[in-house]
Chain A
Amino acid sequence: MLTEDLRQQFISVVGQKWFLDSPNELHAYSYDATPLLQFIPDAVIIPGSVQEVATVLRMANEHRIPVIARGSGTNLAGGTIPVQGGIVLNMNRFNQIHEIDEKNLTATLGPGVITADLHAAVEAVGLFYPPDPGSMRISTVGGNVAQGAGGMRGLKYGVTKDYVMGLEYVLPTGDVLRSGGKNVKDVAGYDLTRLMVGSEGTLGVITEITVKLLPLPATKRTLVVYCRNLVDAARIVERIIAAKIIPATIEFLDQATMKVVDDFAKLGLPLDMASMLLIEQDGNEAQVVQDIEKIAEIARQTGAAEVHMAATMEEGAKLLTARRSALSALSRVRPTTILEDATVPRARLADMVEEIERVARKYNLQICTFGHAGDGNLHPTCMTDERDHEEIERVEQAFEEIFHAAIRFGGTITGEHGVGMAKSRYLHLKVGEGGIELMERLKAAFDPNNILNPGKVFAKRDRRRIVVRQS
């Protein structure tokens, strides 16, 4: 709880309007998009300038008050849950695109800019910002940078981290630092820009971002492939890549997901198939047509049961409906939907999907898997009910096995959601005890008093994702 004196001091920094602490207001910033996690902050502050951010941080640091930077609160790892109370620092007033530099192919913007708004702004001048996380219509670019967000175009274009060229950020001391910039080549010292990306608000508060842009591809085409077994789908993906074709997107739906999606969206999917692939290529017309035809040929030769090519971009969008409806369909099945992002090298895709199916059977759970086959980033999604303690316990065990399997296949516990609270218990599996120790020392160098987003990433290795307390 903030003392009245401190409250007044914070109010004098940002103004009454931007300091929130009524019961409803605190309640409304106690969650993000992560299931089952909720903690009440002591205050919500919505700063309007870098100077205000610096002052708030300096005061919080002095009084050891936790500060949780937040965009739209759409992360799935508990990254913005105020687990130790403190101040939720909502950055959504930093929503200006300062510059689109068509000569250097960069955009400079505030962290509160909505990802889809950035897309629209740069596409209006024929440029392209590829990262497209599922929540892009509401997620902020600052949130994407902090969590290291991915998306459907990862295979060909990479993810958020591949586009951040420069940052301005504030340390707990109130010092405002800049790293990187518009230079394609810049090896002056440690790459602090890269360190900040994916640091989940534990090192500093980002106040400005410079991203790399590309020319906007002229057109795109879509192809759908149905397979009678998982191995065929995985082999098709491998052979496309081996043929030196890099599609913009290769999305995957397993049979369980197809069934739920078809039930919801009535798309008439062939439900006797074990899986489907949605493949999209972009570029200039001739190249796109050539690639898509080649991909279709590879799919047919590699045991695809059915291959459909979209004649137009509109038809392609229709084909992608199945993938886009996946989350909608799955989340309607049961009250609680837990979506994870275990990731493996793409050659182990089939192994991983089979392992997930085995685990689901073992724990008697409904787990559907879809995701980004092109980059091995899967979304095993469990439909459950948070009121059923016993089942939630099984969900916890099942995901633990899934994370272990991902590591065994040379993969990782999280491809694009971040560690946050949800996966801090498994971080050592990927980075090792030595890795965690080094990260903690880095954290202490940035934030010695541990006020920035405490309780995240590596805070409590023994804590389970979901704490079920039987009453």
Chain B
Amino acid sequence: MTTQIPELMNLTERESSEAPHAEAPHAEAPHTETPHAPVAVRDALLGKFDLDELLNCMHCGFCLPTCPTYQQTGLETYSPRGRIALMKGVAEEKLAIDAEFEKNMYACLGCRACETACPSGVAYGRLIETAREVVEDNKKRQGKRSFTRKMIFKNVFPHPKRIRAFGTALWVAQALGLQKAANRTGLIRILPREMAEMQHAVAKVASPAKRKERPPILRAEREPALKIGFFKGCIMDEMFYETNQATARLLSKAGCDVVFVEDQACCGALHAHSGEKSGAADLAKRNIEAFERAGVDFVVNNAGGCGAALKDYGHWFAHDPEWRHRAHAFVAKVRDANELLAELPPLTFHKPLNVRVTYQDSCHLAHGQGVRNQPRQLIRSIPGVDLVEMSHPDSCCGSAGIYNIMNFDMSMDILDDKMKDVQRTKAHVIVTANPGCLLQMREGIMRAGLQGRMEAVHIMDLLDRAL
């Protein structure tokens, strides 16, 4: 149910200097685009908004300087404060759930830097997910869902086999030199511009044969022999298979039995960020069940975006008495690999690296999970590594899940600014802790013409190199 907000100073009624509350030019507030939507349906839709949380925003504006899209545009509609006001406007039926609202909700990176800056502790990440859910539900109701969306969220991410097939296809393409050939011949231009740009950044993927060699468990090389379930991540395990292997090696050296838990699924982050809450919840259930069966001490992952979603499962099932407790028990075990490695006795490194590196925070690791010091501490522990901080290391690189595909121009503007900060550090290596950021930083290196002089590396790979 929507809570009724009393109209304090009604925003449709203005004061005029002669006759107070005389004119009401915007009184005919639009509602949803469907005419005569049944009240119950509309209430069910708008009732998804958490009005208490929306009210917690005191519109102080402290989030504005941390918001990459506000920094790019200077427009209030592109700021967290603005978006929350728009959500409130929709929840109170002063604004319609229309194309403009949809555009504004999807213009957000979802980096959650605003949450770090917010004095009131507003859970913005959840608010934007709900807003997108309302947009998508409204479209479903009107039969307006796009074919691509349906394909991606229903037919790709929930199916590990299909993602594996994608990985194989990518490997085949790379093995045959198709990617290069496509680039050379200009064939690449048949891809949409956004996809064509971003595919440059894809690294060499592992062969299907190599992937089959992976044993189901990697034994600890020393005490304390914790039993950890490795959360592979769907994209991560296809495109960054070697990074997963490196992470497992590091964990085993640090004293963990690393179990590649069977039947795990995508974390559901992309679904949740795109308003596909029920799809996200289905994936979450599969993961909770899989790791329960495995009986592990910790659930460990190496992708900031996935980790933040895994840690949010408790909230996804807040209104589901059956799953709530299981979700909370699962969340209590989730750790980012950086978090766990920083807690365990230090690793022994044998190969000094002698490089200057800079660390680009993963938004969902820093703002979403509050993990900032651990990766830095691990980087500093590598002999020969000089960590030079860039300015605004925890400001989003513009990758943001599928944002760089959906909002390509904005994403590239943010990236180009990020690269200026990176270049000032004179680092040889940009270290990241999330696959999306890694691809984006590789793209950034190319855009800045720094190939061969700078590389982007996942922190687990950097640590692994020094073992």
Name A residues whose Cβ lies closer than 8 Å to a Cβ of B. 1, 20, 22-33, 35-40, 42, 46, 72-74, 83-85, 90, 92-93, 114, 116, 135, 137-139, 327-328, 331-332, 335-337, 385-387, 389, 392, 450, 454-455, 459-460, 466-471
Q: Besides A32-B59, A40-B11, A40-B14, 16 other CB < 8 A contacts?
A: A1-B25, A22-B100, A24-B104, A28-B75, A28-B79, A39-B11, A40-B26, A73-B76, A84-B15, A84-B16, A138-B61, A331-B56, A332-B120, A336-B55, A337-B120, A389-B6
| Sample (11) of A-B pairs whose CB atoms are under 8 Å apart | A26-B26, A27-B89, A27-B95, A31-B59, A33-B58, A35-B58, A92-B74, A138-B64, A386-B8, A469-B8, A469-B10
Residues from chain A with Cβ under 8 Å of B61 in the complex? 32-33, 72-74, 135, 138-139
8 closest Cβ pairs, A-B complex? A328-B119, A28-B76, A28-B82, A335-B55, A38-B11, A74-B61, A331-B120, A28-B77
The B interface is mostly helix, strand or loop, or mixed, namely loop
Residues from chain B with Cβ under 8 Å of A92 in the complex? 74
- The answer to whether A471 and B65 touch (CB under 8 A), given A31-B59, A328-B121, is no
Residues from chain A with Cβ under 8 Å of B14 in the complex? 39-40, 83-85
Q: Is the CB of A23 within 8 A of B58?
A: no
Q: Is the CB of A29 within 8 A of B65?
A: no
Shortest Cβ distance from residue B281 to the other chain A in the assembled complex, whole angstroms: 28
Q: Mark B306-343, 1 if CB is under 8 A from A, else 0.
A: 00000000000000000000000000000000000000
Q: B85 touches which one: A27, A84, A85, A337 (CB < 8 A)?
A: A27
Shortest Cβ distance from residue B170 to the other chain A in the assembled complex, whole angstroms: 39
Shortest Cβ distance from residue A24 to the other chain B in the assembled complex, whole angstroms: 5
Shortest Cβ distance from residue B278 to the other chain A in the assembled complex, whole angstroms: 27
Which residue of B is nearest A325, CB measured?
Answer: B119
Shortest Cβ distance from residue A452 to the other chain B in the assembled complex, whole angstroms: 12
The A-contacting residues of B in range 10-34, CB under 8 angstroms, are 10-12, 14-17, 20, 23, 25-26, 30
Residues from chain A with Cβ under 8 Å of B39 in the complex? none
When chains A and B are docked, how far (Å) is the Cα of A188 from the Cα of B411?
52
Shortest Cβ distance from residue B13 to the other chain A in the assembled complex, whole angstroms: 9
Shortest Cβ distance from residue A374 to the other chain B in the assembled complex, whole angstroms: 23
Which residue of B is nearest A327, CB measured?
Answer: B119
Q: Is the CB of B64 within 8 A of A72?
A: yes
Q: Is the CB of A467 within 8 A of B9?
A: yes
Shortest Cβ distance from residue B101 to the other chain A in the assembled complex, whole angstroms: 6
When chains A and B are docked, how far (Å) is the Cα of A463 from the Cα of B64?
32
Q: Is B213 an interface residue (CB 8 A)?
A: no
When chains A and B are docked, how far (Å) is the Cα of A454 from the Cα of B16?
9
Shortest Cβ distance from residue A398 to the other chain B in the assembled complex, whole angstroms: 17
Q: Is the CB of B96 within 8 A of A23?
A: yes
Which residue of B is nearest A82, CB measured?
Answer: B14
Q: A25 touches which one: B55, B58, B77 (CB < 8 A)?
A: B77
Q: Is B60 an interface residue (CB 8 A)?
A: yes
- The answer to whether A137 and B104 touch (CB under 8 A), given A39-B14, A84-B14, A332-B121, is no
When chains A and B are docked, how far (Å) is the Cα of A470 from the Cα of B120?
28
Residues from chain B with Cβ under 8 Å of A83 in the complex? 14-15
Q: Is the CB of A33 within 8 A of B60?
A: yes
Q: Is the CB of B9 within 8 A of A37?
A: yes
Residues from chain B with Cβ under 8 Å of A332 in the complex? 56, 120-121
Q: Is the CB of B95 within 8 A of A328?
A: no
Which residue of B is nearest A92, CB measured?
Answer: B74
Q: Is the CB of B55 within 8 A of A33?
A: no
Shortest Cβ distance from residue B9 to the other chain A in the assembled complex, whole angstroms: 5
- The answer to whether A28 and B8 touch (CB under 8 A), given A328-B121, A450-B17, is no
Most A Cβ at <10 Å: residue of B16, B17, B30, B119: B119
Q: Is B5 an interface residue (CB 8 A)?
A: yes
When chains A and B are docked, how far (Å) is the Cα of A93 from the Cα of B7?
34
Q: Is the CB of A336 within 8 A of B58?
A: yes
Q: A39 touches which one: B9, B55, B86 (CB < 8 A)?
A: B9
Shortest Cβ distance from residue B55 to the other chain A in the assembled complex, whole angstroms: 4
Q: Is the CB of A28 within 8 A of B6?
A: no
Residues from chain A with Cβ under 8 Å of B89 in the complex? 24, 27
When chains A and B are docked, how far (Å) is the Cα of A92 from the Cα of B71?
11
Shortest Cβ distance from residue B26 to the other chain A in the assembled complex, whole angstroms: 5
When chains A and B are docked, how far (Å) is the Cα of A327 from the Cα of B77?
25
Q: Is the CB of A335 within 8 A of B56?
A: yes
Which residue of B is nearest A388, CB measured?
Answer: B6
Shortest Cβ distance from residue A161 to the other chain B in the assembled complex, whole angstroms: 22
When chains A and B are docked, how far (Å) is the Cα of A208 from the Cα of B136?
46
Residues from chain A with Cβ under 8 Å of B52 in the complex? 335
